Structure 1
Amino acid sequence: MKQFIIIALLSITICRSNAQQKTNPMLTNAERQKAVELLKQTEDGVVDAVKGLSEAQLNYKPAADRWSLAECVKHIAIAESELWAMAEPSLTQPPNPEKRGEIKFSDDDLIKAVEDRTQKSKTFAALEPANTPYNSVKEAITAFRTRREKLIAFVKNTQTDLRSHVLLLPVGSYDVYQFILLIAAHSNRHTQQIEEVKADPNFPK
């Protein structure tokens, strides 16, 4: 089931490019800093986007088939957990750096593809807001921030070679470092969705 989550996120048109192959696949200080900054930036983006809003604003839906801000936040929170649950188990397995040659997307191409709101995709039932365990936006934000802070701490402190743990999925191959970037980009994708709802002319004042 969890493998299908990534298919939903990446079932958009992505321009394939040859990822630069590293002669030394160890995570560099620059890569570590890039991931931490992106995770922090996109965490702040989610929190700031809904800060101080009323219940009417949080629950406003521009149309019956569109999500409210509350629903977006609940989706972000559950996806934060589910996406990392896809990647984390691979870190207990032996590294497979020989599979790096199968990676076809650069880090930046992956981020851009996930953040691109011009290409829409429908999520799976497990990630639908109504199926999440959160009863309120506050509860979802708390869960999101808790998981995000743990992920940031992991990136800062891990001595694991994330580049040498490659996940082989139906849509392609990605290393664990790229999955961390994907998690950050996913939250930004839905922060953009939140801003789209707030820009609706009938959004409550």
Structure 2
Amino acid sequence: MKLKDLIQNVQDARLHFLATTSPLTDEQVIFKPSSENWCITEIVEHMVWAELGGINGIWKAIAGIKNKQPVWMGEAIHQGLSIEQIIQKTWREKEIVPENAKPSWGGPIDYWRASLLNNQNLLQLLSSALEGLNPEIVIYPHIISGPLNVYQRLEFLRFHLERHQKQIENIKAHPDFPQS
């Protein structure tokens, strides 16, 4: 797939994800099926932080290559694999969320929804930032999966949105989910 197509896939996944978060009442967005689960607002906040970390990593990798100081110089162990194959190889059933991606600020869901939408602008600018570079050699390691190139990072953003969309759908299907 081309870079433009992958960026569009992320945008489509983001819009589908956000559609599951609206319209909901204040009571619905803070509902937790158990004390171990995040509420919908916390999931959206997590998505903002996780995406910012991944997108910033791509930009750091681009700058590193352009400045002849790449952030990754190891073996591209996942070369040619889809993100689903990489996740299957590297993730456990329930992963521990890195500290920088945990929901911690709080605040209204509308703020987090707007923030998540704004992340797309950072992706749109990638095409020009990558001008003259092969996206397959621009690598920034994922905290769990290891070295991912730009294509795999973009696939991960789509995958991650879809994964957490299902989590929100499960919360909404919970028998104790508040009715509007």
TM-score (structure 1 length as normaliser): 0.71
1:188 match: 162
- Tell me whether 1:163 sits opposite 2:140 in the alignment: no
Partner Cα separation in structure 2 for residue 197 and residue 59 of structure 1? 10
Deviation of the 1:44 alpha carbon = 0.8
Question: Structure 2 regions of 5+ residues with no counterpart?
Answer: none
Measured in 2, the distance between the counterparts of 1:125 and 1:34 equals 31
The alignment covers a number of residue pairs equal to 170
1:45 corresponds to 2:16: yes
Once the two structures are TM-superposed, the CA of residue 54 in structure 1 deviates from its matched residue by 0.3
- Distance, in Å, in 2 between the alignment partners of 1:154 and 1:33 is 9
Query: 1:45: how far off?
Result: 1.6
Runs (4 or more) in structure 1 with deviation over 6 Å come to none
CA positional deviation for 1:104: 2.5
For the 8 Å contact 2:13–2:158, the answer to whether it is kept is yes
CA distance in 2, matches of 1:48, 1:112: 27
State the 1:113 CA deviation: 5.5
Q: Contact (CA 8 Å) 1:36, 1:155: kept in 2 or not?
A: no
Counterpart of 1:123? 97
Report the residue type matching 2:112 in the other structure.
A
Answer whether contact 1:100 1:164 (CA < 8 A) is retained: no
CA contact (8 A) 2:7 2:154 kept: no
Counterpart CA distance in 2 for 1:151 and 1:43 is: 12
SS at match of 2:136: helix
Structure 1 residue runs without a partner (length 5+): 1-29
Q: Is the counterpart of residue 178 in structure 1 residue 174 in structure 2? A: no
In the other structure, the counterpart of 1:6 is: none
CA distance in 2, matches of 1:75, 1:169: 16
Percent of aligned pairs with the same amino acid: 17
Give the Cα separation in 2 of the matches to 1:38 and 1:153.
15
Change (3 A) 1:82 1:101: closer
RMSD, matched Cα = 2.8
Pairwise CA distance, 1:112: 5.9
Deviates most, 152-161 or 67-76? 152-161
Q: Distance in 2 between matches of 1:33 and 1:100?
A: 27
TM-score normalised by the chain length of structure 2: 0.79
How many angstroms does 1:152 deviate by?
3.1
Deviation at 1:167, TM superposition (A): 3.4
Q: Identify the match of residue 64 of structure 1 among 32, 35, 51.
A: 35
1:106 to partner: Cα distance = 3.6
